[in-house]
A = this chain, B = another copy of it.
Amino acid sequence: MDSEQPTTARGSAPLRADARRNRDRIIAAAAQAFAVRGPDLPVEEIARAAGVGIGTVYRRFPDRDALIRAVAQETVRSAMAHARAAVIEEPTAWAALERFLRQSHEVRLAVRLVIDSPGARAAMEDDPEIYELRRVMLDVLDRIVHAAQAEGSLRADVGTGDVAAAFLLLVRPLIVPEADTAASALERCLGVLLDGLRASAATSLPGEALARTALEH
């Protein structure tokens, strides 16, 4: 489910081995770099981190935004895999939800870039693949939410959009003095949020439940 053919294969001939290797390296370096320094760092930095010349980056990705989109796709792709695995493997919908929300660092970047990135916003405009990914992601979450409400574990007054929004809150890097602190702080905030999402904890919320459509284009 991971080792498919050339990742962006879209009919174009599969890349030569070295090109493929470099492409992967670039995306990995970019993902890393975006995560650490935000989406505004010089492309040259990414090139250096990937150990390639800047020209190589531009041969593979027509411009900076294309690179961002590619990173987003690559990482969301794996986020999807995780999420679907969660649905299948976990015994309860609640557990799946918990796992979904606890998504890894990699997923964090993905979502940030795809759904939520302020800086990379423009990069996503009018990119059908991105829209598609967003839809797929919300689909998965939608299923989890409904199942969890059906089993009575998730409070009934939230919609898929609400949970997605909560997810978005958690997905941003929390900038605090110590990186370790950030990690555990996020873990704990997630815990609090989950406690707040339990059916048993529910007090009233303002407004209407947010449907998934609220976060689609």
Contact = CB atoms under 8 A, between A and B. Distances in A.
A169 B195 CA distance: 16
A217 B40 CA distance: 25
A188 B195 CA distance: 15
Interface string A170-212: 1011111110010011111101111111101111111100100
Contacts of A191: 196, 203-206
A11 B110 CA distance: 40
A22 interface: no
A117 B117 CA distance: 14
Number of copies: 4
Interface residues on A, range: 35 or more
A207 B183 CA distance: 11
Given A195-B195, A195-B196, A188 B206 contact: yes
A64 to B, nearest CB: 14
A40 B215 CA distance: 25
A139 interface: no
A202 B188 CA distance: 12
A80 interface: no
A66 interface: no
Interface string A130-170: 00000000000000000000000000001001100110111
Interface string A56-71: 0000000000000000
A202 B198 CA distance: 10
A216 interface: yes
A167 to B, nearest CB: 10
A214 interface: yes
4 pairs of A and B residues whose beta carbons are closest in the complex: A196-B196, A201-B201, A195-B196, A192-B196
9 contacts: A37-B118, A118-B175, A172-B172, A188-B210, A192-B197, A192-B205, A195-B201, A195-B202, A196-B201
